[in-house]
Structure 1
Amino acid sequence: MVTGNRLGVILEWEGVAVEVDDPDLEPRVWYVLSLEEAKSFPSDAVLKKIEGMRTDQAISEILRWSEDPEEIQRLAARKELIYQTLRGGYYKLRPGVLDFLNTLVDFDIPIAIAAPRSRMILEEGIKTVGLQGYFDAIVALEYFCQGKPDGEMFEVVVELLGLEPAVCIVFGNSNLTTESAHIAGMRCVAVASQHPSYELQAANHVVRWLDQLSIVDLQRIVNGEAIGRGGRESDMDMEIVFEE
């Protein structure tokens, strides 16, 4: 049996634990902010580059909208408020998540949520989908300074869990998350919720649903072993092909 001190699981929030109901939400938020502030709207390439980054980091390092720390924080706070307004409070748990979490709990495996969202937003979302009590750590943007691709967010998680990076698996839905996890010395499973699986091959493994993986699979991933596709069928590529 795999015991809790030999394995840890870190989940990102949107696209991993809960559905991304509106894939155009982030671009719309940036669009509204750019209109309000009379800034140039970021190109698709730039939007993809800042996906999953801390907002203040994206504003200062990528968009270069300001060099003033106070102004950067003002813009970041405003962007967060626009996001909350457009997003609303509705969240939908992704299929297979609850079964996966219950299996982890049965094997006493520590679980954490990590995301560049405020603690308040994460806690409200967790309550909305009924996942209170499942997570041994919740790492929000207040807990780290350097966003992706830096590994600090995940480094904070393992410190809180009391585990070594090498025994932890990050579940994310972008190549930026994979890069960040690898920099932090962790394995990464990419969840093909927003992007097709063929775009996520930098990860150690790719799934569509979390319950495609067993505890044995997780241990094999930690050990650096390749595993085959299992569980429910992944239909991300089919959706992309037949999307109108």
Structure 2
Amino acid sequence: MNGTMINDMGYHLDAWYKILTEDLGASLEREAVKKQMYGKNDELLIRIFGEGRFTADEMAELSVEKERRYQQTYKPHLELIAGLPAFLEKAYQQGIPMAIGSAAITFNVDFVLDNLNLRHYFKAIVSAESVQISKPHPETFLLAASLIGVPPADCIVFEDAPKGVEAAANAGMRCVVLTTMHTREEFEGYSNIIAFADDYTTLDVDAL
């Protein structure tokens, strides 16, 4: 969802950078924070600070606070990536089952779907709370495929991050990469990528 439906990852980076460095005292450059932005929020905190630094409740509070800051800053700019409205509508009209498989918490998924009135397009929503292990583990995408009744080999994942592409590969799924946050060069070595795109204006439902 983030970085593949809406181009918001810079706002997530700003929120995380300020919380990690200004509030929590981590000595990290922005590029280092960017590289840690995959998986669940608590997993990110553990990767940076180690096990035991925060309780589960403290991590949950930090997660919600980070998302509150992100939403407040990003909401005036909230919109779908160029070409995606027509892409979603065409797929929907053709009866192609679609799901969201995101490491975002439900609080953020609802923020996007309800503010942009998108919920009717998706047969299933898999968020951070839906799985035990986040990307690059394949659980997110395998659960999404199961919920829409499509074999993994017949699914196409839309991703913006290398770890997401890795999760798709681990699930046995092909992948389209949106270069909203990372360059093509950062995806070298992944054999399941079938297309790169800056947005959806160059992607065709029938061709895919």
TM-score after normalising by structure 2: 0.84
5 Å-filtered alignment, 1:196-215, equals 196-201=183-188, 202=190, 203-215=193-205
Change over 3 Å in CA distance of 1:173–1:149 after alignment to 2: same
Q: Equivalents in 2 of 1:197, 1:36: separation in Å?
A: 31
Moved more, 124-133 or 196-205: 196-205
Residue 136 of structure 2 corresponds to residue 156 of structure 1: no
Q: Equivalents in 1 of 2:3, 2:14: separation in Å?
A: 18
Moved more, 195-204 or 138-147: 195-204
CA contact (8 A) 1:90 1:128 kept: no
What letter matches 1:110 in structure 2?
A: P
Superposition deviation, residue 58 in structure 1: 0.9
Partner of 1:122: 109
- Alignment size in residue pairs: 204
Question: In percent, how many aligned pairs have the same letter?
Answer: 26
Q: Equivalents in 1 of 2:155, 2:113: separation in Å?
A: 22
Partner of 1:16: 4
Q: Equivalents in 1 of 2:150, 2:106: separation in Å?
A: 22
CA contact (8 A) 1:112 1:157 kept: yes
Of 26, 32, 35, the match for 2:18? 32
SS of the aligned residue for 2:135 comes to coil
Superposition deviation, residue 188 in structure 1: 0.8
CA contact (8 A) 2:87 2:205 kept: no
Superposition deviation, residue 89 in structure 1: 5.9
What letter matches 2:136 in structure 1?
A: P
Q: Pick the structure with greater CA Rg.
A: 1
5 Å-filtered alignment, 1:62-101, equals 62-64=48-50, 66=53, 68-88=55-75, 90-101=77-88
Partner of 1:217: 207
RMSD: 2.4
What letter matches 2:34 in structure 1?
A: K
Find runs of 4+ consecutive structure 1 residues off by over 6 angstroms: none
TM-score after normalising by structure 1: 0.73
